[in-house]
Amino acid sequence: MIQQTLHDEIARLAATPILLVGCDYDGTLAPIAHSPSAARTDERSLAALRRLATLESTHAAVISGRARQDLIERLGITPNLALIGGHGAEMGAPAPAIAESASRGTAPLTFPDTPPAAPTEPSPGTIERLSTELEHIAADFPGALVETKPSGAAFHYRKVDPESHARARELVRSAALRLKAPVVREGTMVIEVSLVPTNKGRAFRWLIDRAYAHAAVFIGDDLTDEDAFAVLRPGDLGVKVGEDSSAARERIATTDDVHDLLEALVIAREQWLARRHLPAIEDHAHLSDQRTCALIDPHGRIVWLCAPRFDSPPIFAQILGGPGAMAGLAPSHAHPGGGAGGAGFFEIAPADGRQPIRRAYEPDTFILKTEYDGGLTVTDYLDCSAGRPYQRAGRSDLIRVVQAPPGSASPGESPAPGKIVIRFSPRIDFARSPTRLRASAEGLVIEGMLDPAALYVPGLDWTIQDDGPNQTAVTTVDLAAFPNNTLTLELRLGTTSLRVAQIPEPARREATRYFWTAWAKPLRLPTLHTDLVKRSALVLKSLCYGPTGAICAAGTASLPEQLGGVRNWDYRFCWVRDAAMSAAALARLGSIGHALKYLDWLGGILEDIDSPERLRPLYTVRAQELGPEGEISGLSGYGDSRPVRVGNGAAQQVQLDVFGAVADLIAILAEAGAALTPEHWRMLDHMIRAVSLRWREPDHGIWEIRGPMRQHVHSKLMCWHTVARSITAREITGEPVSAEHRALAEAIRDDILANGVARSKVAPGEPATPSHFTVAYDDPSVDAACLTVGLLGLVPHDDPRFAATVLAVERELLENDTVLRYRVDDGLPGVEGGFHLCTGWLIESLHLIGRRDEARKLLDKYAAQCGPLGLYAEERCTISGRSLGNYPQAYSHLALINACVRLSTT
C-alpha cells in the first residue's frame, strides 16, 4: 500500500520536463529468491517500467549487481530502458544481444554514449582465479553459492547456517585482499567481490546527467542501493523497499508495492503529458517573403515573427513561452490578460471556441488557408507583391483575411461562426522591452519599436489591457458587419502608416501566388515523392534572404533538440556549409539562380576578410559577423526547454568542412552548364589555398561539438572534396589543372585512408583489417557523417570499407526509422533525436551499395515523417516521433530532395 505522501511525490515528479526512473532488480523488480537463478521478474512491474521508458521525455534504467547479459536475458530489450550490470561496472560496449537488437532498429538505449570505462578491465584468468578461490570457500559452507560475473564474483550465503555467516564473510574478504580486488561490498545475504570499481551511485548520477533529468526516482532494497540514494538531489526521490535503515526519503514494504508505485507513476506521467496541450513543432505553418518568416500554430495564432529580417529580434515569440504565457493551452483557455501576452502572439479565433478542421497551403505557395466548422476561413500570407522579396528588408506586410460564409446555416447544421475574437499581443525583443499600443479608428500602432510597426484594420473597437509593462489589444468582431462578411488585417512592419493600401488585397494575394508558383513550375522533379520534393524546394527558397542571397539554416531560434533540455540553438543565420548544400539541392532540380546569388553573397565576405582560410562557419544574412551568444532569461522555452538562446557560439569555431561545400556547389554549376565567372574561379582558388594551409589541423567538425577540437574524418573528407571538385570543375570547362592540386588531393585521401578507418578485431597474432570509417582519427566510434565518404566518392561504392560504414551506422545509429548523428560524448548534457539529414544520407548509401529495396522503404518512412503541411524540423524523437529542433530546417528538406533524386536517377 502506497502512503498519501508518496502519492503526492508521484504527482510532483510526474509534472517535470525530463524524468528518470531507476531501480534495482533483485528485491525490487523481482522478489528475493534462495538463489540468483531462481529469481523471477514481476512482469507487472516490468510492464510499468517499459511504459515509462516509452513516454516522451521519460527515461528508465535498471541498475543491478547481476551481469548485464543476465539482465538482458531476463528483461529483454526495450528502447530507452538502460540495463546496467555489475553494480554500475558494466556500462560499456553493447552485449551481443544489444548489438543484434540494434541491427533490427530497436537499440535499447537512447543515451548518446556510455561513461568512461573502468580503469582496469579484468582478464578472464583473473576472474577465474577469483571464482576458484570463492568456490573453495563455498565448499566448507553447505548452501553457499558462487555467482561469476564479468566484473568479479558474488558469494551468496542465504542458505548457510547463520552461525557461519561471519566466518564466511571473513574468508571472502581475505581472498579478495590476496587477489587485490579493489571492491568488496556487503549486500542482503551476499558479499560482492569486484575486480573493477563499482558504484550504483556513479552509474545513476551519470544517467541523470546524460538525460539532463529535471527529477529522478530510484527504487531499491539492497545495501548497494544506498550509493544511488546518496547521489539524489533535493528534488529527487529515493524509495526503499523493506525495513532496513536507509537514506531514502520514502519507503514501501514489498515488491508488490513496487508495481503499485510504478503503475501510479506511469499513469500520472501519461496524464500530465496529455494535459500539456503542447502544439507539435511540425503542426506549425510557415510563411515567408524571403526577408523574414512567420509561424502559425494549429490554433491560428502567429507565434513567431522577426522584423525586419530573419535574424532580427522577434515581435511574436510565443512558441518560446514566457512569464504567464500558457503556451500549451488552446485559445479558449488563454486568459486575455494577466500575462496572456507571454512573448507575443497574434490570434484570430471564432468567439465560440471552435477549432480548425482543415489547414493547407494553396498549391505551390506559402499562402495558408485555415478552415473552421461552419465555413469560417482565415487566409494568411506575407506579401510578396511588387518585387518585395528582393528589396532591402524594412517593409514587410503580414496579411490576414477572415471570411464568414453568407447567410445562416441550414436546419440541423452547426451555426455559422459570425463572431471572431482578435488578440493582438506584440512584444518587443522577446518581451525584454516594454510594448505599448496606441489605438485609433484605423488600427493599432506599436510604440517603442526601433523599426516602426502598425496593424491596419479600420472600424474596430479595441480594448487595451495592461500586462505589466506591456499591453494587449482585444476585440470581438461580427463579420456580418463587413462587406462580403470579410475582414482584412494588415500587420505593417517598417511603418506606422494607417492609410488605405494603394493595391487592393486580392491583387497582392495574386502577385504573391504568382511569385511562388512561377518559380516552382519549371523545376525538374524526381519521380519519387514529387509533391513533397516540390514543397521542400519551396521551403529552401523561403529560407533564402532575397536582398543578399544568403540562405538561413532554419527560420527559428532555440526550438529544442531535446524536449525540456538545454540543446537549444539559434539557426536564423547563414552557415556557409548549409547554404551551399541548400543551393546545390535546388540546382539538382534545375534552379541555379539561388546558387549564383548565394555565391555573390559569399564573394563579398571573401573580399572583406584578410585570408580565405579564416572564413567563419556562419554569418548574418547581411554578411556580418555574429555577436556573442546570449540567453533570454525571462522565457520558459518551448516545452520548458531552457535556456532560450540567441546568437550562436559556433560562429567562433573552426570548421574545416565549409570549403568543400562551396567547391562542390561551383562544380555542380559547372556540370549544369552555368557560365562561371573569373570570380568563381578565384573563389575555388581561395578554397584550395585554405585547405592547403589547414587540412592537417583539428577542428570542431560538422556537428559543431562544444569541446576540444579533433581530427574529424568528415572534415578531412571535405578538405579532399574541395580539391577534387575544383579539379572536376576545371576539367568540365577546359580550364587547366595544376599538378600541385592533384598531389594535394591524393595526399589528403591517403591520410584519411591511413588514419580514419577502424580496425576489425581478429584472432591473436593476426594483423587487424580495415573496417568502417570513424568519427575521428583518435576515436573508432561511428558517426553518420562518415557516410559521405562513399556519397562524395572518396572511395568507390563497392569499397568494403564504405559498406562496413553503412552497416555500422545502420546497426548503431538507426532507431525507429531515424538516424542519430553519433553516440559519443559531445560535451553537453542531455540527449537528442534522430537527425533528418543523417537519415537522408543512409537512404542514399543503402541505395549505392545495392540495397535498393531497403533504401526505398526507409525513404518512404522518411517522407511520412514530415508535418501535415509537408515541413520538417531538424530532428525526430526516437521515442515519441515528435519533431525536434528549429523549423523549418534546410538540412532536412535538402536531404529529402537529394535522396529522391538519387533513388530516381541511379
Rounded Cα–Cα distance for residues 843 and 168 (Å): 60
Radius of gyration for the chain, computed over Cα atoms and rounded to the nearest angstrom: 31
Q: Quick one: which of 248, 250, 201, 198 has its CA closest to 228?
A: 201
Contact present, 640 and 564 (Cβ < 8 Å) = yes
Instruction: Quote the CA–CA distance of 378 and 486 in Å, as a whole number.
Output: 10
Q: Rounded to an integer, what distance in angstroms lies between the CA atom of residue 685 and that of residue 738? A: 11
Q: Among 714, 713, 661, 652, which Cα is nearest to 683's?
A: 661
Report the distance separating Cα 696 and Cα 412, nearest Å.
76
Asked whether the bond before 678 is cis by omega within 30 degrees of 0, the reply is no
Place of cell 568507390: 796
Distances (CA, A) of 648 to 569, 743, 885: 7, 37, 14
Question: For residue 60, what is its C-alpha cell?
Answer: 528508465
Q: In a 10 Å sphere around its CB, with 0-12 CB exposed, 13-18 middle and 19+ buried, how is residue 548 labelled? A: buried
Strands (E), 137-201: 145-149, 152-156, 183-186, 190-194
Contacts of 213 (CB under 8 A, 6+ apart): 18, 19, 20, 59, 207
Per the CB < 8 A criterion, the answer to whether 56 and 880 are in contact is yes
Which spans in 548-657 are helix H? 576-588, 593-608
If you search the block for the grid coordinates 538516424, which residue do you land on?
819
24 is a catalytic site residue: yes
Query: What 3-state class would DSSP assign to 682?
Result: helix
Distance CA(478)–CA(369), nearest Å, equals 20
Pick from 157, 190, 220, 276: which is nearest to 21 by CA? Answer: 220
Query: Exposed e or buried b for every residue in 694-708, given b needs 16+ CB within 10 A?
Result: bbeebbbbbbbbeee
Q: Is the dihedral of CA 25, 31, 32, 37 positive or negative?
A: negative
Residue 493 grid cell: 512592419
The catalytically annotated residue of 8, 24, 640, 751 is 24
State the pairing for strand pair 250-252/237-241.
parallel
DSSP letters for 300-321: SEEEEEESSSTTSPEEE-GGG-
- How far apart are the two ends of the chain, measured CA to CA in Å? 64
Residues 6 or more apart whose CB falls under 8 angstroms from that of 624 comprise none
Known catalytic residues are 24
